[in-house]
Amino acid sequence: MTWVDRVVAALPASVTAKAPPPAGESAATLRRRKRTVAGVSLAGAALLGASLSTKPDSPAFYGLTLGVAATWTLGGLASGPLHLGRTPHRDKTAPPSRRPVITPVLLGAGAFGVFYGCALVSRHIPILNRAISGVLQYAHRGSDRQVLVTTLANGAAEEVFFRGALYAAASGKHPVAVSTAVYSLATAATRNPALVLASGVMGALFALQRKATGGIQAPILTHLTWSALMLRFLPPLFPSQSQAAVVARGIKP
Protein backbone atom coordinates (compact mmCIF):
# COMPACT_ATOMS: atom_id res chain seq x y z
CA MET A 1 0.00 0.00 0.00
CA THR A 2 1.40 3.41 -1.02
CA TRP A 3 1.33 6.50 1.21
CA VAL A 4 -1.47 7.90 -0.94
CA ASP A 5 -3.54 4.77 -0.30
CA ARG A 6 -2.87 5.11 3.43
CA VAL A 7 -3.99 8.74 3.44
CA VAL A 8 -7.17 7.90 1.52
CA ALA A 9 -7.87 4.97 3.86
CA ALA A 10 -7.56 7.30 6.85
CA LEU A 11 -10.08 9.78 5.46
CA PRO A 12 -13.74 9.43 6.38
CA ALA A 13 -16.00 7.70 3.91
CA SER A 14 -18.04 10.90 3.74
CA VAL A 15 -15.24 12.34 1.60
CA THR A 16 -13.76 9.37 -0.28
CA ALA A 17 -16.87 7.32 -1.03
CA LYS A 18 -19.10 7.69 -4.04
CA ALA A 19 -22.83 7.68 -3.47
CA PRO A 20 -25.05 5.82 -5.93
CA PRO A 21 -26.51 8.19 -8.52
CA PRO A 22 -30.08 9.36 -7.92
CA ALA A 23 -32.88 8.40 -10.22
CA GLY A 24 -32.33 9.84 -13.66
CA GLU A 25 -33.79 13.26 -14.34
CA SER A 26 -35.74 14.05 -17.44
CA ALA A 27 -34.12 16.00 -20.25
CA ALA A 28 -36.49 18.88 -19.56
CA THR A 29 -35.47 19.03 -15.88
CA LEU A 30 -31.78 19.01 -16.81
CA ARG A 31 -32.27 21.80 -19.34
CA ARG A 32 -34.09 23.87 -16.73
CA ARG A 33 -31.28 23.27 -14.26
CA LYS A 34 -28.64 24.43 -16.72
CA ARG A 35 -30.55 27.58 -17.70
CA THR A 36 -31.24 28.45 -14.08
CA VAL A 37 -27.66 27.77 -13.00
CA ALA A 38 -26.24 29.95 -15.77
CA GLY A 39 -28.41 32.94 -14.94
CA VAL A 40 -28.13 32.65 -11.17
CA SER A 41 -24.34 32.22 -11.31
CA LEU A 42 -23.96 35.58 -13.04
CA ALA A 43 -26.49 37.38 -10.83
CA GLY A 44 -25.07 35.95 -7.61
CA ALA A 45 -21.47 36.74 -8.54
CA ALA A 46 -22.40 40.34 -9.37
CA LEU A 47 -24.19 40.78 -6.04
CA LEU A 48 -21.32 39.15 -4.17
CA GLY A 49 -18.79 41.52 -5.70
CA ALA A 50 -21.02 44.49 -4.91
CA SER A 51 -21.57 43.41 -1.30
CA LEU A 52 -17.85 43.47 -0.50
CA SER A 53 -17.48 46.87 -2.12
CA THR A 54 -19.83 48.53 0.37
CA LYS A 55 -19.05 50.17 3.69
CA PRO A 56 -18.83 47.73 6.64
CA ASP A 57 -21.81 47.77 9.02
CA SER A 58 -23.91 49.69 6.53
CA PRO A 59 -27.50 48.91 5.47
CA ALA A 60 -26.20 48.35 1.94
CA PHE A 61 -23.76 45.69 3.13
CA TYR A 62 -26.35 43.71 5.07
CA GLY A 63 -28.93 44.13 2.35
CA LEU A 64 -26.62 42.96 -0.42
CA THR A 65 -25.20 40.02 1.53
CA LEU A 66 -28.69 38.79 2.38
CA GLY A 67 -29.59 39.37 -1.26
CA VAL A 68 -26.71 37.11 -2.30
CA ALA A 69 -27.94 34.41 0.08
CA ALA A 70 -31.47 34.71 -1.27
CA THR A 71 -30.21 34.53 -4.86
CA TRP A 72 -28.23 31.33 -4.26
CA THR A 73 -31.04 29.71 -2.27
CA LEU A 74 -33.94 30.58 -4.54
CA GLY A 75 -31.88 29.76 -7.63
CA GLY A 76 -30.94 26.38 -6.23
CA LEU A 77 -34.49 25.50 -5.25
CA ALA A 78 -35.90 26.74 -8.57
CA SER A 79 -33.54 24.54 -10.56
CA GLY A 80 -35.21 21.30 -9.58
CA PRO A 81 -35.25 18.64 -6.84
CA LEU A 82 -32.35 18.61 -4.35
CA HIS A 83 -31.31 15.80 -2.02
CA LEU A 84 -30.01 15.79 1.56
CA GLY A 85 -27.90 12.65 1.14
CA ARG A 86 -26.96 9.85 3.52
CA THR A 87 -23.86 8.70 5.33
CA PRO A 88 -21.89 6.24 3.15
CA HIS A 89 -20.13 3.08 4.36
CA ARG A 90 -16.70 1.86 3.30
CA ASP A 91 -18.40 -1.48 2.71
CA LYS A 92 -19.99 -0.78 -0.65
CA THR A 93 -22.47 -3.62 -0.15
CA ALA A 94 -23.97 -1.89 2.90
CA PRO A 95 -26.62 0.71 2.08
CA PRO A 96 -26.37 4.24 3.55
CA SER A 97 -28.38 4.29 6.77
CA ARG A 98 -28.60 7.80 8.19
CA ARG A 99 -28.30 11.50 7.45
CA PRO A 100 -24.76 12.84 7.88
CA VAL A 101 -24.34 15.00 11.00
CA ILE A 102 -21.36 14.29 13.28
CA THR A 103 -18.70 13.65 10.63
CA PRO A 104 -19.46 16.85 8.64
CA VAL A 105 -19.22 18.93 11.83
CA LEU A 106 -15.88 17.31 12.71
CA LEU A 107 -14.63 17.93 9.17
CA GLY A 108 -15.59 21.59 9.49
CA ALA A 109 -13.66 21.85 12.75
CA GLY A 110 -10.67 20.11 11.21
CA ALA A 111 -10.72 22.40 8.18
CA PHE A 112 -10.79 25.39 10.50
CA GLY A 113 -7.70 24.07 12.29
CA VAL A 114 -5.83 23.89 8.99
CA PHE A 115 -6.94 27.37 7.96
CA TYR A 116 -6.04 28.81 11.35
CA GLY A 117 -2.52 27.50 10.93
CA CYS A 118 -2.37 28.97 7.43
CA ALA A 119 -3.65 32.30 8.78
CA LEU A 120 -0.76 32.43 11.24
CA VAL A 121 1.61 32.13 8.28
CA SER A 122 -0.39 34.54 6.11
CA ARG A 123 0.18 37.37 8.58
CA HIS A 124 3.78 37.43 7.32
CA ILE A 125 2.80 37.47 3.61
CA PRO A 126 1.80 41.08 2.75
CA ILE A 127 -0.65 40.32 -0.06
CA LEU A 128 -2.52 37.69 1.99
CA ASN A 129 -2.35 39.76 5.16
CA ARG A 130 -4.00 42.68 3.35
CA ALA A 131 -6.58 40.42 1.70
CA ILE A 132 -7.64 38.71 4.92
CA SER A 133 -7.64 41.98 6.86
CA GLY A 134 -9.84 43.51 4.16
CA VAL A 135 -12.47 40.81 4.61
CA LEU A 136 -12.30 40.81 8.40
CA GLN A 137 -12.98 44.56 8.56
CA TYR A 138 -16.64 43.59 8.13
CA ALA A 139 -16.39 41.51 11.33
CA HIS A 140 -14.42 44.16 13.23
CA ARG A 141 -16.72 47.05 12.36
CA GLY A 142 -20.03 45.23 12.06
CA SER A 143 -22.64 43.98 14.49
CA ASP A 144 -21.56 40.57 15.78
CA ARG A 145 -25.06 39.14 15.49
CA GLN A 146 -25.78 40.53 12.03
CA VAL A 147 -22.41 39.49 10.63
CA LEU A 148 -22.90 35.97 12.02
CA VAL A 149 -26.39 35.73 10.51
CA THR A 150 -25.27 36.89 7.07
CA THR A 151 -22.19 34.64 7.16
CA LEU A 152 -24.15 31.51 8.03
CA ALA A 153 -26.99 32.37 5.66
CA ASN A 154 -24.56 32.72 2.77
CA GLY A 155 -22.70 29.55 3.73
CA ALA A 156 -25.87 27.44 3.64
CA ALA A 157 -27.11 29.19 0.49
CA GLU A 158 -23.86 28.51 -1.37
CA GLU A 159 -24.23 24.80 -0.69
CA VAL A 160 -27.84 24.78 -1.89
CA PHE A 161 -26.74 26.33 -5.17
CA PHE A 162 -23.19 25.16 -5.90
CA ARG A 163 -23.30 21.66 -4.41
CA GLY A 164 -27.00 21.31 -5.06
CA ALA A 165 -28.19 22.84 -8.33
CA LEU A 166 -24.84 23.37 -10.05
CA TYR A 167 -23.46 19.96 -9.10
CA ALA A 168 -26.63 18.29 -10.40
CA ALA A 169 -26.50 20.31 -13.62
CA ALA A 170 -22.91 19.16 -14.20
CA SER A 171 -23.63 15.54 -13.30
CA GLY A 172 -21.81 13.18 -15.63
CA LYS A 173 -19.31 15.86 -16.67
CA HIS A 174 -16.82 15.98 -13.77
CA PRO A 175 -19.23 17.69 -11.34
CA VAL A 176 -16.63 17.97 -8.55
CA ALA A 177 -14.21 19.90 -10.77
CA VAL A 178 -16.92 21.93 -12.51
CA SER A 179 -18.74 22.99 -9.35
CA THR A 180 -15.46 23.91 -7.64
CA ALA A 181 -14.25 25.92 -10.63
CA VAL A 182 -17.50 27.88 -10.95
CA TYR A 183 -17.55 28.48 -7.19
CA SER A 184 -14.05 29.94 -7.38
CA LEU A 185 -14.93 32.05 -10.42
CA ALA A 186 -17.97 33.46 -8.63
CA THR A 187 -15.82 34.26 -5.60
CA ALA A 188 -13.31 36.00 -7.88
CA ALA A 189 -15.91 38.78 -8.24
CA THR A 190 -14.83 39.91 -4.75
CA ARG A 191 -11.31 40.58 -6.13
CA ASN A 192 -9.90 39.16 -2.90
CA PRO A 193 -7.15 36.54 -3.37
CA ALA A 194 -7.62 35.07 0.12
CA LEU A 195 -11.32 34.38 -0.53
CA VAL A 196 -10.57 32.88 -3.95
CA LEU A 197 -7.94 30.54 -2.49
CA ALA A 198 -10.29 29.50 0.30
CA SER A 199 -13.12 28.89 -2.17
CA GLY A 200 -10.93 26.57 -4.22
CA VAL A 201 -9.84 24.47 -1.24
CA MET A 202 -13.15 24.36 0.59
CA GLY A 203 -15.16 24.12 -2.62
CA ALA A 204 -13.30 20.91 -3.47
CA LEU A 205 -13.98 19.50 0.01
CA PHE A 206 -17.67 20.39 -0.17
CA ALA A 207 -17.97 18.87 -3.64
CA LEU A 208 -16.31 15.63 -2.49
CA GLN A 209 -18.82 15.46 0.35
CA ARG A 210 -21.63 15.96 -2.14
CA LYS A 211 -20.21 13.16 -4.26
CA ALA A 212 -19.82 10.83 -1.28
CA THR A 213 -23.19 11.39 0.38
CA GLY A 214 -25.33 12.17 -2.65
CA GLY A 215 -26.75 15.33 -1.10
CA ILE A 216 -26.19 18.78 0.38
CA GLN A 217 -26.64 18.18 4.11
CA ALA A 218 -23.00 17.16 4.73
CA PRO A 219 -21.44 20.14 2.91
CA ILE A 220 -23.91 22.53 4.57
CA LEU A 221 -22.96 21.35 8.07
CA THR A 222 -19.24 21.44 7.29
CA HIS A 223 -19.54 24.90 5.76
CA LEU A 224 -21.49 26.31 8.71
CA THR A 225 -19.10 24.83 11.28
CA TRP A 226 -16.03 26.11 9.42
CA SER A 227 -17.53 29.57 8.86
CA ALA A 228 -18.62 30.01 12.48
CA LEU A 229 -15.18 29.05 13.81
CA MET A 230 -13.38 31.26 11.30
CA LEU A 231 -15.59 34.23 12.23
CA ARG A 232 -15.01 33.63 15.94
CA PHE A 233 -11.26 33.02 16.02
CA LEU A 234 -9.68 34.71 12.97
CA PRO A 235 -10.43 38.41 13.65
CA PRO A 236 -8.10 38.58 16.70
CA LEU A 237 -5.21 37.50 14.46
CA PHE A 238 -5.81 40.42 12.09
CA PRO A 239 -6.61 43.57 14.12
CA SER A 240 -8.58 46.39 12.54
CA GLN A 241 -6.77 49.45 11.22
CA SER A 242 -7.62 51.45 14.34
CA GLN A 243 -6.39 48.67 16.62
CA ALA A 244 -3.21 48.31 14.59
CA ALA A 245 -2.57 52.06 14.84
CA VAL A 246 -2.97 51.94 18.60
CA VAL A 247 -0.55 49.03 18.89
CA ALA A 248 1.94 50.75 16.58
CA ARG A 249 1.97 53.80 18.88
CA GLY A 250 2.61 51.57 21.86
CA ILE A 251 -0.67 52.48 23.52
CA LYS A 252 -2.78 49.82 25.17
CA PRO A 253 -6.30 49.71 23.74
Query: 193-223 pLDDT, tens per residue?
Result: 999 999 999 999 999 999 999 999 999 999 9
> Per-residue pLDDT for 190 more than 70?
yes
Q: Evaluate whether residue 113 is within a structural domain.
A: yes
pLDDT band at 57 (very low <50, low <70, confident <90, very high): very high
Domain count across the chain = 1
pLDDT of amino acid 7: 46
Average pLDDT over residues 176-183: 97
Q: Evaluate whether residue 112 is within a structural domain.
A: yes
pLDDT tens sequence across 228-251: 999 999 999 998 754 544 444 444
Q: What is the sign of the dihedral through the CA atoms of 146, 147, 150 and 156? A: negative
- Report the distance separating Cα 98 and Cα 105, nearest Å: 15
> Per-residue pLDDT for 252 more than 50?
no
Q: Please tell me what DSSP assigns to residue 57.
A: T
Asked if 108 and 222 count as a contact pair (C-beta separation under 8 A), the reply is: yes
pLDDT band at 94 (very low <50, low <70, confident <90, very high): low
Helices 144-158 and 126-141: crossing angle in degrees, nearest 10, is 120
- Percent pLDDT > 70 in the chain is 82
Phi (first) and psi of residue 84, to 5 degrees: -80, -35
pLDDT of amino acid 248: 42
Phi (first) and psi of residue 107, to 5 degrees: -65, -40
Q: Evaluate whether residue 5 is within a structural domain.
A: no
Query: For residues 100-139, b (16+ Cβ closer than 10 Å) or e, as one string?
Result: beebbbebbeebbeebeebbeebeeeeebbebbbbbbbbb
> Per-residue pLDDT for 64 more than 90?
yes
Q: Evaluate whether residue 229 is within a structural domain.
A: yes
pLDDT of amino acid 79: 94
> Per-residue pLDDT for 124 more than 70?
yes
Angle at the Cα of 160 (from 148 to 74), degrees rounded to 5? 90
Q: Evaluate whether residue 146 is within a structural domain.
A: yes
Continuous segment of H or E residues that includes residue 233: helix 217-233
Angle at the Cα of 102 (from 168 to 144), degrees rounded to 5? 85
pLDDT tens sequence across 20-52: 556 667 788 888 899 999 999 999 999 999 999
> Per-residue pLDDT for 182 more than 90?
yes
Q: How far is CA 244 from CA 57, 133, 231, 248, in A?
A: 19, 11, 19, 6
Q: Please tell me what DSSP assigns to residue 170.
A: T
Average pLDDT over residues 104-130: 97
- Report the distance separating Cα 196 and Cα 185, nearest Å: 8
> Per-residue pLDDT for 9 more than 90?
no
Q: Evaluate whether residue 62 is within a structural domain.
A: yes
Q: Please tell me what DSSP assigns to residue 58.
A: S
- Report the distance separating Cα 213 and Cα 102, nearest Å: 13
Average pLDDT over residues 63-81: 97
Average pLDDT, the chain: 88
* Residue range(s) defining the domain that contains residue 234: 29-82+101-248
Q: Evaluate whether residue 117 is within a structural domain.
A: yes
- Report the distance separating Cα 142 and Cα 53, nearest Å: 14
Average pLDDT over residues 11-20: 61
Average pLDDT over residues 167-172: 88
pLDDT of amino acid 54: 95
Q: Evaluate whether residue 186 is within a structural domain.
A: yes
**pTM of the full structure:** 0.87
pLDDT band at 67 (very low <50, low <70, confident <90, very high): very high
**DSSP 3-state of 203:** helix
